[in-house]
């Protein structure tokens, strides 16, 4: 269940990133934002999977918190930072002189 919640949050985040970039620039920029977000998610999940399997006991911590859940939780932390920096943080348009 936790895995579904994390996947759902990532899908909503990707849709938000697409919509924001589409409205600010173009559809092409929106597609690039989704691809970049998906690429970061995939690479981070590939990196955190072995780390989670190394930390987690063979049967998992509980029935509902396994190594896969831990790896997705570990992915969510840098993904949240990435999402904030690229989509939520206000951008300054003027140069400070």
Check residue 96 and give its pLDDT.
Answer: 59
In a domain, 94, yes or no: no
Reduced 3-state DSSP string for the chain: CHHHHHHHHHHHHHHHHHHHHHHHCCHHHHHHHHHHHHHHHHHHHHHHHHHHHHHCCCCCCCCCCCHHHHHHHHHHHHHHHHHHHHHHCCCCCCCCC
How far apart are alpha carbons 46 and 5 in whole angstroms?
19
Q: Please, which residues have CB within 8 angstroms of residue 22's CB and are 6 or more apart in sequence?
A: 29, 30
| Spatial CA neighbour of 31 closest among 39, 42, 21 | 21
Check residue 64 and give its pLDDT.
Answer: 83
Domain that holds residue 56: 2-87
Q: Tell me the pLDDT of the chain (97 aa) as tens digits.
A: 889 999 999 999 999 999 999 998 899 999 999 999 999 999 999 999 999 989 988 877 888 888 889 999 999 999 999 888 888 887 776 555 5
Rounded to whole angstroms, the maximal C-alpha distance in the chain is 59
Number of domains in the chain: 1
In a domain, 93, yes or no: no
In a domain, 45, yes or no: yes
In a domain, 64, yes or no: yes
In a domain, 58, yes or no: yes
Check residue 94 and give its pLDDT.
Answer: 57
Check residue 50 and give its pLDDT.
Answer: 93
Check residue 93 and give its pLDDT.
Answer: 65
């Amino acid at each position: 269940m936790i895995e579904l919640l994390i996947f759902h949050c990532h899908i909503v985040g990707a849709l938000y990133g697409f919509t924001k970039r589409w409205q600010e620039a173009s559809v092409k920029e929106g597609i690039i934002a989704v691809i970049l977000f998906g690429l970061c998610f995939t690479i981070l999940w590939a990196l955190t999977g072995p780390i989670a399997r190394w930390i987690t006991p063979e049967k998992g911590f509980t029935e509902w918190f396994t190594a896969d859940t831990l790896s997705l939780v570990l992915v969510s932390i840098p993904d949240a930072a990435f999402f904030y920096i690229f989509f939520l943080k206000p951008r300054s348009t003027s140069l400070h002189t």
